Structure 1
Amino acid sequence: MPKPLGVRARIKTLSVPFQKKSAVQICHSLKKESEVGGNDGRDWTTSFLLFLLWAALIYYVFFLSPNQTPSRDTYFLKKLLNLKGDDGFRMNEVLVSLWYIMGLWPLVYSMLLLPTGRSSKNSIPVWPFLILSCFGGAYVLLPYFVLWKPPAPPVEETQLKTWPLNFLESKVTALISLVAGVAIIIYAGLAGQDVWTEFYQYFRESKFIHITSIDFIVLSTFAPFWVYNDMTARKWFDKGSWLLPISLIPYLGPGLYLLLRPSLSAVAISQTPVEPK
């Protein structure tokens, strides 16, 4: 007995998710389902796992990370903040590079999270976390990732012309941040093997250098997701998806994306990303 037209159509619809998809398409589908599938717009298990990650990092930082040279850490911090004059000591070039690149990460994340990474209307604001990330890095941003609820509220044309969106959307800002990052990374890359060996020894002994290095790794790990989130909000997935694997390159990948991404139009940010073809 032939099935009714409605039943056949539903079977056909249900069979679509089982067709072969690329890894990026699967990621896109999972994100879209999580946004429409719950009262909070997001699967609570993701927030719970992110909270566990943040709690584990905080516990490690305070109780398990090495702390063999607290006085030297204080000295290094004063030197990096230019609070100590020239005493003839040459700072490790890799450490100096790490310090300056960490100063650029808050700008990169601000450009990724404002406005497309904002939490849904009447939810927690992102700007306090971005400001505090200048001092606490990923250890401050992770709680926002836990609380984040997509989609981002629409943005109006007038908002795009005011501070800070006009600054964060500027190609000049993106270019300066990318060029600065390239220069810092080249400076570290040109350091000799003995400098890198010394930095590794610092990493094993110093709490300050140890947790800063972990901070850099965590920021680099989460950046590709926020690149993807921003890309879909701008409806640029079909043309810009080739940048997703490049965004895995620490700092440089997200920096290149920020330079090449299209500007936000006067139309409100789409709350449902375009499905890739």
Structure 2
Amino acid sequence: MINRKRCDGNPSISLSQRPGSLQVRRSFAKDEKPEDPVLKEEGPSESDGERGRDWTTSLLLFLLWGAIMYYVFNLAPNQTPSRDMYFLQKLLNLKGDDGFRMNGVLVSLWNIMGVWPLVYSMLLLPTGRGSKGSVPVWPFAVLSFFGGIYVLLPYFVLWKPPPPVEEAELSRWPLNFLESKFTAGIVFLAGLGLISYAALVGGGDWSEFFQYFRESKLIHVTTLDFTLLSAFAPFWVYNDMTSRKWYEKGSWLLPLSAVPFLGPALYLILRPAAKTVALVSSTSEQK
């Protein structure tokens, strides 16, 4: 569907497909005409976000978030609070070298949790951001660097399909950074290095880590955070893939997105640019 609206005497054309798909809006000067000859005049239509709102899913996600938060604060093991504080200070580099060797798996997990929010930011902007009038995604994306999935889940509850994206917006910060193949490559290599490090530390570190997991709230909650981020990633990969109209060509990546961290990070490298796909696909489907 293509909508043409006027604002301040300048026609603006919105190329759109279906609820949930990425839309790019192009603005033309007063004397400039769009190249596509099949554009039709249409009146205002119902918001894609309102049509796509699924209250059942939102309610289930809200209940899931409530259950997870109850578990984190009331049921997660908390046998070693003083050791947790020591580990936290070591991981944040607030303690100097005192001769204690930190568990390699824990170090890898802690560092990869600092990269996961960047992966989600690249999936949520622009194709996962909410529709006009809904809660903006950026506060949740920023806070997820500190709170992980526990901060992102409320956004998932409130999410609605995205609004049209101004073409010029894709070339501005932060979308140009989040759409960059260079950024995606750095994210993938960082994750690959951290996961490889954890895999090669040896069985002793893994046995120690599992013991920590059974005793420590810090490690238990962080591991749960990593697991939930991995579990939700395939949906957002699918959403981004269909929004870019790349499902037919890129569907083979969907099973791979279930591989923790590396699957979604690989998708970010291989996915087409939002600007190119949205404009080319939208115009070609009208012909």
**TM category, shorter:** 0.7 to 0.9
How many residue pairs get aligned? The number is: 242
Partner Cα distance (1:38, 1:201) in 2: 46
- Residue of structure 2 equivalent to 1:92: 103
Provide the alpha-carbon RMSD of the alignment: 2.5
Partner Cα distance (1:189, 1:269) in 2: 43
Given that 2:49 and 2:160 are in contact with CA atoms closer than 8 Å, whether structure 1 keeps it comes out as no
Which of 248, 252, 255 is 2:262 aligned to? Answer: 252
Given that 1:159 and 1:165 are in contact with CA atoms closer than 8 Å, whether structure 2 keeps it comes out as yes
> In the TM superposition, what is the alpha-carbon distance from 1:191 to its structure 2 partner?
1.4
Q: Would you identify which runs of 4 or more consecutive aligned residues in structure 1 move more than 3 Å?
A: 36-40, 266-270
Alignment of 1:37-52 (within 5 A): 39=50, 41-52=52-63
Partner Cα distance (1:218, 1:49) in 2: 15
Given that 1:220 and 1:248 are in contact with CA atoms closer than 8 Å, whether structure 2 keeps it comes out as yes
- Residue of structure 2 equivalent to 1:231: 241
- Residue of structure 2 equivalent to 1:101: 112
Change in CA separation of 1:166 and 1:140 when aligned onto 2, cut-off 3 Å = same
Structure 2 unaligned regions, length at least 5: 1-17, 22-46
Given that 2:127 and 2:239 are in contact with CA atoms closer than 8 Å, whether structure 1 keeps it comes out as yes
Structure with greater helix percent: 1
- Residue of structure 2 equivalent to 1:166: 176
Provide the TM-score with structure 1 as the length reference.
0.82
Letter in 1 for 2:142: I
Letter in 1 for 2:135: I
Structure with greater strand percent: 2
2:70 maps to 1:56: no
Partner Cα distance (2:67, 2:279) in 1: 35
Letter in 2 for 1:87: D
Partner Cα distance (1:224, 1:264) in 2: 18
Letter in 2 for 1:143: P
- Residue of structure 1 equivalent to 2:89: 78
- Residue of structure 2 equivalent to 1:26: none
Given that 2:141 and 2:152 are in contact with CA atoms closer than 8 Å, whether structure 1 keeps it comes out as yes
2:132 maps to 1:132: no
Partner Cα distance (2:49, 2:107) in 1: 45
- Residue of structure 1 equivalent to 2:3: none
Partner Cα distance (1:139, 1:179) in 2: 26
Letter in 2 for 1:105: W
SS in 2 for 1:116: coil
Partner Cα distance (2:160, 2:200) in 1: 42
Provide the TM-score with structure 2 as the length reference.
0.80
Change in CA separation of 1:158 and 1:266 when aligned onto 2, cut-off 3 Å = farther
Change in CA separation of 1:208 and 1:40 when aligned onto 2, cut-off 3 Å = farther
Change in CA separation of 1:86 and 1:209 when aligned onto 2, cut-off 3 Å = same
Partner Cα distance (1:236, 1:267) in 2: 8
Change in CA separation of 1:159 and 1:183 when aligned onto 2, cut-off 3 Å = same
- Residue of structure 1 equivalent to 2:251: 241
